[in-house]
């Protein structure tokens, strides 16, 4: 089976009803990113940050994977697929994708405020446990924090992601503005023989690559359908 690697961003989940970050009306227009997605913001106002992620978690219970997520899961019949996602939702998993690497953490997981990447403290919440309260503690006695990679923090999964991209026969970038590093740099690890597709209804500024890119200017659902048809030839 050919190795197909997906790099997905917020646009992947847009058709499920989850806002993107940088489109008009996106999340970063509604909330100051420094306040809700940085370690400093969390130190300054943990209540606000906890409420922000509670709201994201509550919303996640109300949405479903879209056709694009589902088609990617179905494509596992024909391809060896690894999904590398910047998304913190669990819609790839809920659609049935079996190998998902989250670069920016996972909304349905919580961890220690002191050692967020220590596996001993990372815990998956059940859907009904979406509301975290100030005073809820991790196993090390610190306040439970979202298992989210904030701006300014290291991205522990980037190395394993690079390895998958290097080995890919096909790389499919879906619904990301490629503004945030190191995720945006993953394309540069694609080997010269790797076929690259980019699915996005809007123009994406792909910086400094000589790699030919097959553009599919469609939303995720239609775009993944077109991708599969194109690959079938």
Catalytic residue, from 102, 104, 210, 211: name it: 104
For the purposes of burial, counting CB atoms within 10 Å of the CB of 38, is it exposed (0-12), middle (13-18) or buried (19 or more)? middle
Task: Using only the alpha carbons of the chain, give its radius of gyration.
Answer: 18
d(CA 192, CA 69): 27
Buried-state track 89-110, b at ≥16 Cβ within 10 A, e below 16: bbbbbbbebeebbbbbbbbbbb
- Residue 30 binds ligand APR, judged by CB under 6 A: no
Q: Out of 15, 89, 93, 195, which residue is the one contacting ligand APR (CB under 6 A)?
A: 15
CB 181 within 8 A of CB 155: no
- Residue 23 binds ligand APR, judged by CB under 6 A: yes
The residues in 90-119 that bind ligand APR, with binding defined as CB under 6 A, are 104
| Residue 220 CB, nearest approach to ligand APR (Å) | 4
107: nearest Cα among 27, 172, 6, 174: 27
99: nearest Cα among 118, 83, 121: 83
Q: Looking at beta carbons only, is 15 or 106 nearer to ligand APR?
A: 15
- Residue 219 binds ligand APR, judged by CB under 6 A: yes
The residues in 133-152 that bind ligand APR, with binding defined as CB under 6 A, are none
- Residue 14 binds ligand APR, judged by CB under 6 A: yes
104 counts as catalytic: yes
Q: Give the pairing of strands 195-199 and 213-216.
A: parallel
Q: Looking at beta carbons only, is 90 or 177 nearer to ligand APR?
A: 177
Q: Which stretch binds ligand APR (CB under 6 A): 10-18, 43-51, 72-80, 133-141?
A: 10-18
| Residue 20 CB, nearest approach to ligand APR (Å) | 3
Quote the tokens at residue 38. Answer: 């940085």
d(CA 163, CA 159): 7
- Residue 11 binds ligand APR, judged by CB under 6 A: yes
DSSP designation for 126: P
d(CA 111, CA 142): 9
Q: Out of 26, 39, 46, 182, which residue is the one contacting ligand APR (CB under 6 A)?
A: 26
Q: Which stretch binds ligand APR (CB under 6 A): 44-52, 122-130, 156-164, 173-181?
A: 173-181
- Residue 41 binds ligand APR, judged by CB under 6 A: no
> By Cβ distance, which residue is nearest to ligand APR?
11
Quote the tokens at residue 177. Answer: 């503005």
For the annotated catalytic residues, the residue numbers are 104
Given the rule CB under 6 A, which residues bind ligand APR? 9-11, 14-15, 20-23, 26, 86, 104, 175-177, 179-180, 200-202, 204, 219-220
């Amino acid at each position: 089976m050919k190795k197909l690697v997906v790099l997905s961003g917020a646009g992947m989940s847009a058709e499920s009803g989850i806002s993107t970050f940088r489109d008009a009306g996106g999340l970063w227009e509604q909330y100051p990113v420094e306040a809700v997605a940085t370690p400093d913001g969390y130190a300054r106002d943990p209540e606000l940050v906890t409420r922000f992620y509670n709201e994201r978690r509550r919303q996640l219970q109300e949405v479903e994977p879209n056709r694009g997520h589902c088609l990617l899961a179905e494509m596992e019949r024909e391809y060896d697929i690894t999904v590398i996602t910047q998304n913190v939702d669990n819609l790839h998993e809920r659609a049935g994708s079996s190998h998902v690497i989250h670069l920016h953490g996972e909304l349905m997981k919580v961890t220690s405020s002191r050692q967020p990447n220590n596996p001993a403290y990372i815990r998956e919440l059940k859907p009904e446990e979406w509301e975290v309260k100030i005073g809820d503690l991790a196993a090390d006695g610190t306040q439970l924090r979202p298992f989210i990679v904030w701006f300014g923090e290291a991205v522990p999964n980037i190395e394993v992601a690079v390895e998958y991209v290097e080995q890919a026969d096909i790389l499919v970038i879906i619904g990301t503005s490629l503004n945030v590093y190191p995720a945006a740099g993953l394309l540069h690890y694609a080997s010269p023989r790797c076929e690259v597709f980019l699915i996005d209804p809007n123009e994406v500024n792909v910086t400094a690559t000589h790699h030919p890119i097959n553009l599919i200017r469609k939303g995720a659902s239609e775009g993944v359908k077109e991708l599969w048809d194109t690959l079938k030839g």
